[in-house]
Structure 1
Amino acid sequence: MPEHPTATHTLESRPPAASVIAECLRTQATAPPCSAGARFFGREPLSADASPWYRGALGELEVARRLTALGPAWRVLHSVPVGRGTSDIDHVVIGPPGVFTINTKHHEGRDIWLGAKRLLVSGQPTDHLRNARFEAKRASQRMSVAMHALVDVAPIVAIVGARRITVRERPTTVFVMRERELVGWLTALPPVVPPADVARLVEAAAQPSTWHDSPSLEPVDVAAFERLRSEVARARSRRRGWAAVGFLGLLGLLPVAAMLAWISLVGLIAR
């Protein structure tokens, strides 16, 4: 599909996870910086308040990466501001089978239990299904107004990083799946929307005014988030290095000089 002349002012150019990245960076900016000693020992650089936003951003970025495998007949919009406040829809997917909203949930290493009306994370109830239905209903209302015709929108909950998903019974109104299943599931659906109508849907969905009463697409410092990711990765590598050194030291297999050399090497590799 050809690029719109105003693409830079539409949602087509909005980076994935824009809202959560902005909130993560804003929250992290209030945290005191780590000292040189803390960095040497691999102290976690993320503040407690920024950590949930950081994990959320990683989840949305992973889903966005997966969705790039959709073919040219599909378009994906990310971090779509909706309503009147600061709410957003993680991903809006438009293609031959129709329109979908994706609510991404990053539950790395957690156990998920899915029933017809409930989704539990490590035994704790969540609002994932209710929120996904609400997002799709909201998207349908907004798109229908923009298109001057009824636009059905199907809600998806994408689970990122879960250790196990136990399905007791699948919900009838929300599709729940792992992030790695998204592309295969979407592309297996039968086409019901002609290409010309897909193009019209994309054109309407790309306009911020379709979704938000007072649209404003503030720039997001993606580079700053990538620097934060690198800092987190370096700290994690250093902690692992210290753990390995401590284990070997307990066994009496690593002299002090070798221990220090090992830590220095870990720091260099993590850079």
Structure 2
Amino acid sequence: MVDVITTPGTQRLAFPAGYSVVRECLELQRNAPARKGIARALGLSPLHPDARSWFEGALGEIRVGALLERLGPEWAVLHAVPVGTRGSDIDHVLVGPAGVYTVNTKRHPGARIWLGERMLMVAGQKTDYLRNSRHEAARAAKLLSAATGEDVTVRPLLVLVGTGSMTVKQRPTDVTVLTDTQLLKWLDRRIPQLSTEQLRARADAASDPRTWTKDAPALEPHQGDAFEALRIEEARAETVRLLWKAVPLAAVVIGAVAAVLGAL
């Protein structure tokens, strides 16, 4: 990653991808009852209903975070950047030769997407994703400009993870909408815009918690392990559910084969 200029003793942002949503997911998951033997046998989800949306969101941010870590050393990549005093955060902030970007990540496995200039719909439902992406970029530009003493332009990216088909009526002019599989190639094609000095100044400011908030949350080192355990448990439950769905089909196939053999 890019060399960041910091004074001795300066704290740097170092949250893992999805940190804020993982924390919220685990907090809500505390209310989930322990699964009994029959629940496990049937593949019932271990997730508390209130935690599911946060769980899905965390998977999306972690996926995009892993992709962004593949960027070259000229990029500064920050995750779960806390903003303000109300617990808000920006999923990812990127500082590279091509400029500064905020990344808003949304995960909708297999969903149909409709995209227009001012609206994005998921499975026919309107969302605020474009508006929120614009707001995040504008807020980041204001804070980074104040921190660097320069006019910093920030471009919003909206990255969709795991979606199905996408119908594009008209692409927004001020928000770039990409799938997770398109993200790295798109960034790689950007034309350099910043000098070395501008890049370092912006990366330094972006990495300083004081740029974004007066009260950054403390890093809880074991949070990632707890979420990974939950992810594995949910994946195992999903596998069991799929096996149960396959049982009726298997019975039909076996019955058909038996009938054929009996007729011979």
TM-score (norm 2): 0.90
Distance 2:217 2:235 in 1: 33
Aligned partners of 1:9, 1:200: CA distance in 2, in Å?
A: 16
Q: Secondary structure at the match of 2:106?
A: strand
CA distance in 2, matches of 1:187, 1:251: 49
Secondary structure of the residue aligned to 2:118 is coil
Q: 1:75 to 1:7 in 2, by over 3 A?
A: farther
Whole-angstrom CA distance in 2 between matches of 1:222 and 1:8: 25
Aligned-pair Cα RMSD in Å = 1.8
Q: How many residues align?
A: 252
Q: Cα 1:105–1:8, aligned 2, differ >3 Å: closer, same or farther?
A: farther
- Please give the TM-score of this superposition, normalised by the length of structure 1: 0.88
Residue 8 of structure 1, CA deviation: 9.5
Higher mean displacement: 146-155 or 117-126: 117-126
For 1:105, the equivalent position in structure 2 comes to 106
Alpha-carbon distance, 1:189 to partner? 1.0
Aligned to 1:226: 228
Q: Within 5 Å, give how 1:105-144 maps onto structure 2.
A: 105-144=106-145
Write out aligned runs for 1:201-212 (5 A).
Answer: 201-212=202-213
Per the alignment, residue 261 of structure 2 pairs with none
For 2:105, the aligned partner's letter is T
Residues 154-169 of structure 1: pairs in structure 2 closer than 5 A: 154-169=155-170
Cα distance in 2, alignment partners of residues 29 and 18 from structure 1: 17
CA distance in 2, matches of 1:59, 1:79: 12
Specify the code of the residue in structure 1 equivalent to 2:153.
Answer: D
AA of the residue aligned to 2:180: E
Contact 2:15 2:219 in 1 (8 A): no
Give the Cα separation in 2 of the matches to 1:43 and 1:6.
Answer: 51
- The answer on 1:242 being equivalent to 2:244 is yes
Give the distance between the partners of 2:129 and 2:138, measured in 1 at CA: 14
CA separation of 1:152/1:233 partners in 2, compared to 1, >3 Å: closer, same or farther?
same
Q: What secondary structure does 1:243 align onto?
A: helix
1:232-271 aligned at under 5 Å gives the runs 232-251=234-253
Give, in whole Å, the separation in 1 of the partners of 2:7 and 2:148.
20
The Cα of 1:218 is off from its aligned counterpart by 3.5
Q: What CA distance in whole angstroms lies between the structure 1 residues aligned with 2:9 and 2:247?
A: 52
**Deviation by residue 1:161-194 (Cα, 9 ceiling, x = unmatched):** 1101111111111111111111111121110102
Unaligned runs of 5+ in 1: 254-271
